[in-house]
Amino acid sequence: MDKKETKLNSEQIYEGRVISLRRDEVLCPNGQKSIREVVSHLGGVGILIKVGDKFIIEKQYRYALGKEIYELPAGKLEKGEEPLEAAKRECLEETGYRPLEMIHLGDMVPTCGYSNEVIHFYYCGKSVKEERHLDSDEFIDVMFLTMDEIEALIKENKVVDSKLFTALTLYRTKIL
């Protein structure tokens, strides 16, 4: 049986700076009609950066969660921007390291039930230190942690960023 749903009509509900929301009426494979609420997002990148024997992990306050969390260096794609270029840009902006080599690790869809967002993951094992260029509303602490230190944070349930989990899994699968 073909499981594809057919869009019958669509209503734009919200258009924001980062996301938009629409309400679609769809025809299901069994002939029933249903509603799908879809969050549209341009997508993003996450970069696992290794400097020597340590990885760059960021700690920043996330308003939606109301607390600081450990994260992978990451950022949003600009309209029309290729993921590799976004990864290079975000790497330098957030960490101050200009990548000399980037390896695509894979992609992840964080919330496929209601969003079209795709996060593209890269590994940077060679870089040069330059100056950070944070956005005016970014306040990011850069930390250099060994894999053992990152794993200890995970065991203590101090890591909640799905991007970091995904990047580490892809790294272990494709690089190690």
17-54 confidence digits (pLDDT tens) = 999 999 999 999 999 999 999 999 999 999 999 999 99
E strand map for 42-134:
44-51, 54-62, 67-71, 74-76, 97-108, 119-129
Nearest to 56 by CA among 96, 14, 115: 96
147-173 confidence digits (pLDDT tens) = 999 999 999 999 999 999 999 999 999
CATH of residue 86's domain is 3.90.79.10
Does residue 16 sit in the same domain as residue 76? Answer: no
Total count of domains within the chain: 2
Cβ atoms of 127 and 35 within 8 Å: the answer is no
Does residue 11 sit in the same domain as residue 67? Answer: no
Does residue 96 sit in the same domain as residue 29? Answer: no
Q: What is the pTM of this model?
A: 0.94
Does residue 65 sit in the same domain as residue 113? Answer: yes
Give Cβ neighbours of residue 37 (< 8 Å, ≥ 6 apart): 13, 21, 22, 23, 24, 114
Domain membership of residue 94 as a residue range: 44-174
111-151 confidence digits (pLDDT tens) = 999 999 999 999 999 999 999 999 889 999 999 999 999 99
Residue 1 lies in a domain: no
Does residue 52 sit in the same domain as residue 136? Answer: yes
